[in-house]
Amino acid sequence: MKLKLKIWRQLNANTPGKLVDYQLEGVEEDMSFLEMLDYLNEKLILSDERPVEFDHDCREGICGTCGLFINGRAHGPLAGTSTCQLHMRSFSDGDTIYIEPFRGGAFKVTRDLKIDRSAFDRIIMAGGFISTPVGDAPEANAIPITHDEAESAFDSAACIGCGACVATCKNGSAALFTSAKITHLAKLPQGKAEAQQRALGMIAQMDAEGFGHCSNTKACQVECPQEISVTNIDRMNWEFNKAKVLK
Amino acid sequence: MNTTLARKNLMALTGLFLCLFLVVHLVGNLQLLLPPEKAAVQFNLYSKFMTSNFFIKVISYLLYASIVLHAVYALVITVKNRQAACGGYAYDRRGTASPWYSRYMGILGTVILLFLVVHMKDFWFEYKFGSLPLDREGNKDLFSIVVESFGQLWYLGFYTVAFIALGYHLLHGVHSAFKTLGIYPRKLSNFLYYSGIGLTLILTVGFIVIPIFVFFKYHMP
């Protein structure tokens, strides 16, 4: 497989970047997208060029570290797939592939395709936890909630914090990420006690980081690799309004 | 108003209030469909009631405030969103993930605002400050002004375009407002979504049909 790559190269946060063209031959369709970049980097290193830097960790779709804007879409063309789970069989010989970093909100490009997503960590630190030590996982039947509620909380908890929602939002809004974290804990008995201060704290931090407003276009749920539902945002808004009224 | 959610709440509440107003406005306009003799008297009487009743006056001030707040905060939110969006991408296909009208609420809103300026100038301003002839009951004859206005094809076209913009604005706006307020429980989500579409259809078709009806009834031989 022979590809033409247009990759965003940027030395650091303070210098402007630009798309640079690369021709890459010998790509196999069984390579993952990140392996294709590894393969490119090997060639760049051998020819004494600076390799393309990108975020990655588990490479099995559960850590949320990798995240590239591929051909105009977050995590590329497939639905419900993170960048590391995208394979070159989704592309054809002779294709041109645009590879850009996620942009929007508080995300800043630190180098090439790497971005600073620490704003998400600070949102979690503003309330995305339960203060009381609750010990190990309790015996499932001892938790006073139904199976459906537990599953629904888990659906929200499945968010891996990759930032595709922000990257794809026309407003650079982090509503889907923040709402998934708020909803996950609001649905569980352990999380209910702090639900109000959690909602207010995390939303205040989300705003302080400079993320935009949610317009309910629902593009985020379409591009989310974990298919987190926008109904989480409805729940966040409900929790916020409830907290404001009851405060 | 210092959080993103509070600003969106304001947009949702003012938007829903304006929707409620549109329903009342449409019901009032239906009087234009009555037989000519009856329509004139009835419509002019109704106009007098709407401009002189104390409670309606109070609500009308709420309405003006809603329009201004909805427009001003739309601008504030758009500017802040632009800053948060950080430019964009060299190759951008994000549009495939959402319906176009949900992304162009600002443009659709601007068309509606433009329409409002013309609409208020031609009818509201004329009624309040212009010198209108009186009908045989002694009421200001707004009916004749309305009928005369809709005799011009460009005016009819302008109204139709504005109402199509309104239709798309509401198609996203109504259910989005409920989502923003957080009043969107799973059991009611289908009901709210489809009643939003239903309300949009009724308002859009209703507002488009009345000027066209007037044109054919009073201006075609």
Average pLDDT, chain B: 95
- pLDDT value for A137: 81
- pLDDT value for A243: 95
- Indicate the residue among A52, A84, A111 that finishes a domain: A111
Same domain as A104, residue A88? yes
Same domain as A242, residue A137? yes
CATH of the domain at A33: 3.10.20.30
Q: Is A73 in contact with B93 (Cβ distance < 8 A)?
A: yes
Q: Work out the average pLDDT over B62-70.
A: 97
- Concatenated DSSP letters for B33-72? GS-HHHHHHHHHHHHHHHHH-HHHHHHHHHHHHHHHHHHH
What DSSP state is assigned to residue A104?
B
Kindly report the nearest CA distance between residue A76 and chain B, in angstroms.
Answer: 10
For residue A62, give both structure tokens: 């559960």
Q: Which residues 20-49 of chain B have a CB within 8 Å of chain A? A: none
Indicate the SS3 state at residue A171.
coil
- pLDDT value for B157: 96
CATH of the domain at A236: 1.10.1060.10
Tokens 């995240």 belong to which residue?
A: A67
Same domain as A223, residue A159? yes
Q: Is A170 in contact with B85 (Cβ distance < 8 A)?
A: yes
Same domain as A121, residue A79? no
CA Rg, chain B, in Å?
20
- Indicate the residue among A86, A111, A136 that finishes a domain: A111
Kindly report the nearest CA distance between residue A219 and chain B, in angstroms.
Answer: 5
Indicate the SS3 state at residue A94.
coil
Same domain as A208, residue A156? yes
Contact of A126 with A204, CB cutoff 8 Å: yes
pLDDT band at residue B186 under the 50/70/90 scheme: confident
The DSSP bridge pattern shows strands A96-101 and A68-70 to be antiparallel
What ipTM, to 2 d.p.? 0.92
Same domain as A126, residue A98? no
pLDDT band at residue B136 under the 50/70/90 scheme: confident
What DSSP state is assigned to residue B137?
T
Enumerate the residues of chain A whose CB falls inside 8 A of the CB of residue B176. 215-216
d(CA A223, CA A74): 6
The DSSP bridge pattern shows strands A3-9 and A18-24 to be antiparallel
Q: How many domains are contained in chain A? A: 2
- Asked if B190 is an interface residue toward chain A (Cβ–Cβ < 8 A), one would say no
Q: Work out the average pLDDT over B192-209.
A: 96
Same domain as A224, residue A151? yes
d(CA B145, CA B159): 15
Same domain as A215, residue A142? yes
- At B89, the amino acid letter reads Y
Q: What is the mean pLDDT of each run of 10 residues along chain A (247 residues)?
A: 98 96 97 98 98 97 96 97 97 98 93 97 97 83 87 96 97 98 94 94 97 97 97 97 91
What are the structural domains of chain B? 4-86+99-219 (1.20.1300.10)
**Domain coverage including residue A91:** 3-111
Same domain as A99, residue A11? yes
Same domain as A128, residue A242? yes
Same domain as A88, residue A188? no
For A52, phi and psi rounded to 5 degrees? -75, 125
Interface test with A, best of B93, B94, B188 (most A CBs within 10 A): B94
